[in-house]
Amino acid sequence: MSGRVSTTATSSSLRERLRTQLADLKMPGALEALDDILRQVDSGQLATGEAVERLLGAHIALRNARRLQTAMRSARLPAVKTLADFDFSFQPSVKREQLESLHTLGFIERKENVVLLGPPGVGKTHLALSLAVAAAESGRRVYFATLADLLHSLEEAQAAGRLAHRLRTLVFPSLMVIDEIGYLPITRTGAMFFFQLMARRYEHASTILTSNKGFEEWGEIFGDDVMAAALVDRLVHHCHIVNIRGNSYRLRQHADLARRLHGSSSTSAVASAELESRRSVKSKRQEELHTR
Ligand code: ADP
Ligand code: MG
Ligand 1 probe mutation, 99, 126, 213, 265, most atoms within 8 A of CB: 126
So what's the pLDDT on residue 292? 36
Ion ligand 2 residue ranges (Cβ < 5 Å): 125
**239: nearest Cα among 125, 106, 115, 124:** 115
Ligand 1 probe mutation, 89, 93, 177, 249, most atoms within 8 A of CB: 249
Is 85 touching ligand 1 by the criterion CB < 6 Å? Answer: yes
**Given a cut of 80, is residue 224 above it in pLDDT?**
yes
Q: What does the DSSP assignment read for the chain?
A: -GGG--SSPPPHHHHHHHHHHHHHTT-HHHHHHHHHHHHHHHTTSS-HHHHHHHHHHHHHHHHHHHHHHHHHHHS--SS---GGG--TTT-TTS-HHHHHHHTTTHHHHTT-EEEEE-STTSSHHHHHHHHHHHHHHTT--EEEEEHHHHHHHHHHHHHTT-HHHHHHHHH--SEEEEEEETSS---HHHHHHHHHHHHHHTTTSEEEEEESS-GGGHHHHHT-HHHHHHHHHHHHHTEEEEE--S--STTTT-HHHHHHHTTTTS--HHHHHHHHHHHHHHHHHHHHHHH-
Do 100 and 131 touch, CB atoms closer than 8 A?
no
Q: What percent of the chain has pLDDT over 70?
A: 85
So what's the pLDDT on residue 17? 97
CA-to-CA dists, residue 145 to 54, 124, 289, angstroms: 36, 14, 52
Residue 82: nearest ligand to its CA?
Answer: 1
**Residue closest by Cα to atom 23 of ligand 1:** 87
How many Å separate Cα 266 from the centre of its chain? 24
pLDDT, tens only, 90-141: 999 999 999 999 999 999 999 999 999 999 999 999 999 999 999 999 999 9
So what's the pLDDT on residue 263? 57
Buried b (16+ CB within 10 A) or exposed e, 239-270: bbebebebbbbebeeeeeebbeebeeebbeee
Greatest mean pLDDT among 146-155, 249-258, 281-290 lies in 146-155
So what's the pLDDT on residue 274? 35
- The CATH architecture one would assign to domain 83-243 is 3-Layer(aba) Sandwich (3.40)
**Residue closest by Cα to atom 5 of ligand 1:** 123
So what's the pLDDT on residue 262? 64
So what's the pLDDT on residue 90? 94
Is 91 touching ligand 1 by the criterion CB < 6 Å? Answer: yes
Instruction: Quote the pTM value.
Output: 0.77
Ranges 117-121, 161-165, 201-205, 250-254: which has the least confidence: 250-254
Which of the four pLDDT bands, split at 50, 70 and 90, describes residue 184?
confident
Ranges 119-123, 259-263, 285-289: which has the least confidence: 285-289
**236: nearest Cα among 198, 194, 276:** 198
**Residue closest by Cα to atom 10 of ligand 1:** 121
Q: Which atom of ligand 1 is nearest to the CA of 91?
A: 23
Residue 87: nearest ligand to its CA?
Answer: 1
Q: Residue 179 Cα, ligand 2 centroid: separation in angstroms?
A: 7
Average pLDDT over every residue of 236-240: 90
Paired strand residues for 1: none
Is 90 touching ligand 1 by the criterion CB < 6 Å? Answer: yes
Q: Residue 116 Cα, ligand 2 centroid: separation in angstroms?
A: 10
Residue 251: nearest ligand to its CA?
Answer: 1
Is 183 touching ligand 1 by the criterion CB < 6 Å? Answer: no
pLDDT, tens only, 15-62: 999 999 999 999 999 999 999 999 999 999 999 999 999 999 999 999
**Given a cut of 80, is residue 278 above it in pLDDT?**
no
> How is the chain split into domains, by residue range?
2-74, 83-243, 255-283
**Given a cut of 90, is residue 73 above it in pLDDT?**
no
How, if at all, do strands 142-146 and 175-181 pair? parallel
Is 86 touching ligand 1 by the criterion CB < 6 Å? Answer: yes
Q: Residue 135 Cα, ligand 2 centroid: separation in angstroms?
A: 19
**Given a cut of 50, is residue 2 above it in pLDDT?**
no
So what's the pLDDT on residue 76? 85
Ranges 103-117, 222-236, 250-264: which has the least confidence: 250-264
**Of residues 251 and 51, which shows the higher confidence score?**
51
Which of the four pLDDT bands, split at 50, 70 and 90, describes residue 7?
low
Which of the four pLDDT bands, split at 50, 70 and 90, describes residue 267?
very low
- The strand order across the sheet containing 239-243 reads 142-146, 175-181, 206-211, 113-117, 239-243
Which of the four pLDDT bands, split at 50, 70 and 90, describes residue 240?
very high
Is 125 touching ligand 1 by the criterion CB < 6 Å? Answer: yes
Mean pLDDT (the chain) is 86
**Residue closest by Cα to atom 20 of ligand 1:** 123
Q: Is 105 left (phi over 0), alpha (psi -120 to 50) or beta?
A: left
